[in-house]
Amino acid sequence: MRILVVEDEPRMAALLRQGLTEEGHAVTVALEGRGGLCMAEAGGFELLILDVMLPGLSGFEIARSLRARRIQTPILMLTARDAAHDIVKGLDLGADDYLTKPFSFDVLLARVRAVSRRGPIPQTVLMEAAGLAMNPATREVTRDGRRIDLTRTEYAILEMLMRSAGRVLPREILIEGVWGVAAEIESNTLDAFVRLLRAKVEEPGQPRVIRTVRGVGYALGGETP
Ligand code: CA
């Protein structure tokens, strides 16, 4: 991943550069806030690691400024202060995760991996699969340009199917994702919602897009088994 580190403390900056480079990342370091913001705005990074306390502009200000310009590069905030207030503020301003100094490098790497797995946060990504398009920011769903209005639950099911397009999602995973881990729903509740979803997504004469995989679950698109 291409990572921009904005950190004014030289030792910490060097440590981050070395450790992340050893993990195979391409690391750029900015030592103060304004320069960091300029580089982040110029783009080309897949992750920003921002210290909060910086000369020039704080990490908070950088995050706010980027999000205000709809730059959605994932942000991992480093804070020396573990006040809950700071953490909440950082997340509220658009950070995706935070780490309190001092931290172990293993923990940092785990967070970096988690953020990179999540990828860019959804606002920028229009998901497309099997002729369907979904904008997670506006929750707008279309098929071949036709707008489809879904309820919250129908949307949640379709979003999971689209994120795993072409692969079979087991029933338990779908239920856990839509209703939560501890959810106790009737077994046929999922099927009922999928029926409703199909009725909206698959108009008469259109090819089916949601496949039932008997005894396993559902899939969007892909091969018929
Ligand atoms: Ca600092």
pLDDT tens digits, one per residue of 67-123: 888 888 888 889 876 656 677 777 777 777 778 888 888 888 888 887 766 655 544
More confident residue, 94 or 33: 33
* DSSP 8-state class, residue 59: H
- CA gap 72, 136 in Å, rounded: 13
Distance 88 CA to ligand 1 centre (A): 19
pLDDT tens digits, one per residue of 110-169: 888 877 666 555 445 688 888 899 987 778 899 988 999 888 888 889 998 998 888 899
DSSP 95-158: -SEEEESS--HHHHHHHHHHHHHH-S-GGGPPEEETTEEEETTTTEEEETTEEE---HHHHHHH
Average the pLDDT over 191-199 and give the result.
Answer: 90
Question: Is omega for the bond preceding 74 within 30 degrees of 0, making it cis?
Answer: no
Distance 123 CA to ligand 1 centre (A): 29
User: What are the counts of helices (DSSP H) followed by strands (DSSP E) for the chain?
Assistant: 8, 12
What integer pLDDT is reported at residue 187 of this predicted model?
66
Q: What is the mean pLDDT of the chain?
A: 85
Distance 30 CA to ligand 1 centre (A): 12
β-bridge mates for residue 156, sequence order: none
- CA gap 138, 79 in Å, rounded: 32
What integer pLDDT is reported at residue 74 of this predicted model?
87
Distance 183 CA to ligand 1 centre (A): 44
Distance 51 CA to ligand 1 centre (A): 6
Distance 65 CA to ligand 1 centre (A): 18
What integer pLDDT is reported at residue 225 of this predicted model?
42
Is the overall model pTM greater than 0.85, yes or no?
no
Residue 175: pLDDT above 80?
Answer: yes
Distance 10 CA to ligand 1 centre (A): 9
Q: Output phi, psi for 26, to 5 deg.
A: -95, 115
- CA gap 40, 61 in Å, rounded: 12
Pick from 80, 98, 118, 108: nearest CA to 89: 98
Tokens 């309820």 correspond to: 151
What integer pLDDT is reported at residue 21 of this predicted model?
94
